[in-house]
Amino acid sequence: MRAFVINQYKGPLHEADVPEPVVGEHDVLVQVQAAGVNQLDEKIRVGEFKQILPYELPLVLGHDVAGTVVGVGAQVQGLTFGDEVYARPGKDQIGTFAERVAVAETDLALKPASISMEEAASLPLVALTAWQALVERADVQPGQKVLVHAGAGGVGSIAIQLAKHLGATVATTVSAGNAAWVRELGADVTIDYRTEDFEQVLHGYDVVLDSLGGTSLEKSLRVLRPGGKAIGISGPPGPAFAREGGLNPVLRLAITALSSKIRRQARKLGVHYEFLFVRASGDQLTQIAKLVEDGALRPVVGRVFDFDQTVQALQALDKGGLRGKAVISRA
C-alpha cells in the first residue's frame, strides 16, 4: 500500500510501500479519498512531541481523513460498506497519508452530505480542537467575549465561526489582508498582529484560544477578566495532560516544571490556563456535521494537493500565507 512515512525524527517525509492496516474487531477500514494536513504532522516529524507521543518508526503521518468504508471489524455495528465518513483517528491509529487507514468506529462520523471529500477532510482535527476548547473546556455562553488567535489559520477560521454560533463577541489576530475575510466568518474585532498589540486593545475577555504560545500566551492571560480562561494548543502542557496521558513520573515532573511559569502567572492574575491536546471523537464530529449541514460552520480549504504531492503539502505549512487548511486529495 502506498503511504508517506518518516523513518526517523527530523528526517524527510517520503513515499513508501507499507503493509495494509490491521483492522481490529471494533475498527473500520477507510479508503482514503482526502486527508487534511496539520501543524501537528510537522511537529511529530521534527520530534517535538517524541517524549509525550512515543511512536514506533517508520511512521505514516496524517491526522485527518475523509473517505469510504471498505471493510468493518466483527463488532462494528453502526457503519457499513460504502458509507462516506470522516475522522480524526485516535493517536494510536494516525496514518491518513496513505491509501487506506483503520479507524476505531467510535472515532468516525458520517461525512456531511453537503460538502466535498476535500472539505470534509479539512475539518476533523481543527473542528474538534475548536469544539473541545470552546464547548467542553470553556462552556462559552451568549454574550461572552472570546479571543481567537491566528484567525485565518486552520483552527482559527473554524473557532471564529463556532464562537459566533455560540453567541459570543469574537476578536481575532490576523494580518491586515485577512481582516475583511475573517469578518465574513463572524469576527467582530480584528487586530493586525503586525502593527497592533492586542494586549493594548482588548480587555475583559472571558476566553482566549491561543495557538501561538510564548509571549502571545503570556499577553493573553492579561486580556482576560478575573476568572477567565486561556486555552493553549501549542503548549506548554500541564500536569493534567501528563496525568491523563499516563506518562511516567519523570516526564510528569518535567511537564509540570515546563508549565509552572505560565500557571504561576495565571494564578497571580486570577485567571486560568489549560493545555488542550485534541482527542478523537466520532460523537462530536456528528454534532459538527449537523452544524455544517445547518450552515453554521463552513470548511475553509486554502489549497488542494494531489496525493503524489503529499511531501510538498507538508512543506507548504512552513511557507505560511494559507487561509484555512491544506488538503491532500486522492480523487
Which segment of 123-137, 280-294, 306-320 scores lowest on mean pLDDT? 306-320
Rg of the chain in Å (alpha carbons): 19
Strand pairing category for 108-110 and 145-148: unpaired
Q: What is the pLDDT of residue 240?
A: 82
What ranges make up the beta strands (E) of 7-64? 14-17, 27-37, 59-60
| Count of domains for the chain | 2
236 in the same domain as 225:
yes
Residue 285 falls inside a structural domain: no
Q: Which of 254, 266, 187 lies closest to 220, judged by CA?
A: 266
Query: pLDDT at residue 93 above 90?
Result: yes
The number of helix segments (H) and strand segments (E) in the chain equals 12, 16
d(CA 182, CA 304): 21
What is the band of 318 on the pLDDT scale with cuts at 50, 70, 90?
confident
Indicate if 110 and 131 belong to the same structural domain: no
Same-domain pairing of 76 and 156 = no
Write down the pLDDT at residue 331.
Answer: 77
Q: What percent of the chain has pLDDT over 90?
A: 88
Cα(211)–Cα(186) distance, integer angstroms? 19
Same domain, 130 and 254: yes
- Same-domain pairing of 323 and 261: no
Q: For 68, left (φ over 0), alpha (ψ -120 to 50), or beta? A: beta
User: The domain that contains 140 carries what CATH number?
Assistant: 3.40.50.720
* Residues 253 and 156 reside in one and the same domain: yes
Mean predicted confidence (pLDDT) in 165-180: 97
pLDDT of residue 251: 81
How far apart CA 150 and CA 54 sit, in angstroms, is 29
Residue 284 lies in a domain: no
pLDDT tens, 186-221?
999 999 999 999 999 999 999 999 999 999 999 999
With CA atoms as reference, report the closest residue to 97 among 23, 28, 33, 3.
Answer: 3
Q: 176: pLDDT confidence band, cut at 50, 70 and 90? A: very high
Please indicate, yes or no, if residue 282 is contained in any of the structural domains. Answer: no
Do 119 and 62 sit in the same domain of this protein? yes
Q: What are phi and psi of 12, to 5 degrees?
A: -75, 150
Cα separation, 258 vs 302, whole angstroms: 34
Which structural domain range is residue 132 located in? 125-275
Residue 291 in any domain: the answer is: no
How high is the pLDDT of residue 220? 98
pLDDT in tens, 220-275: 999 999 999 999 998 788 888 877 777 778 888 888 888 899 999 999 999 999 99
pLDDT for position 323 = 93
| Residue 242 confidence (pLDDT) | 75
Cell digits of residue 125: 482535527
Together in a domain, 54 and 183:
no
Q: What is the pLDDT of residue 239?
A: 81
Same domain, 223 and 154: yes
CA distances 104 to 40, 69, 149, 258, 328, Å, are 20, 12, 32, 33, 22
Asked whether residue 294 carries a pLDDT value surpassing 90, the answer given is yes
Does residue 293 lie in a domain region? no
- pLDDT digits 0-9 by tens, 95-141: 999 999 999 999 999 999 999 999 999 999 999 999 999 999 999 99
Model pTM score: 0.96
